[in-house]
Amino acid sequence: GKTPLDQARVDMVMDGMVDMFMKYVYEIYYEKDEAKKTEKKKDFVEKYVPQFYSHLNKLTRDSGYFVSDELTLADISFYNMTTLVGDDMKQPLSLDGFPNLKKVVDNVTSNPGIAKWLEERPETAE
């Protein structure tokens, strides 16, 4: 962001994404009991994520950016954490009902440098 307020908005979104990731890691990823893990995943996907995304969707501009009308680390962080958690769960996190968040993903993945990296990056082991 170009102003202190813009920078605060970037920090706010990034901190929220870290909170989401940590909730996933500590409540689901490290869960040893498979039955509990399945129930916690269900609750995460059906309750936590939609509520969290509802708030984020309101913070997103109609242009599909969190701050001003240009790509910031907030947009990249949202894409990265959403993709990372979805990939790890083997279940993409749904953006249905969150049109502005879909625009964020589109804006991030259509950025020429990011699109090139996504296309050319090496496959990593799980």
Spatial separation of the C-alpha atoms in residues 92 and 104, rounded to whole Å: 16
Report the candidate in 63, 53, 45 with the shortest Cα–Cα distance to residue 13. 53
Give pLDDT tens digits for 9-48: 999 999 999 999 999 999 999 999 999 999 999 999 999 9
Report the candidate in 52, 72, 102, 101 with the shortest Cα–Cα distance to residue 11. 72
Give pLDDT tens digits for 73-98: 999 999 999 998 988 888 888 999 99
Q: Are 63 and 103 in contact (CB under 8 A)?
A: yes
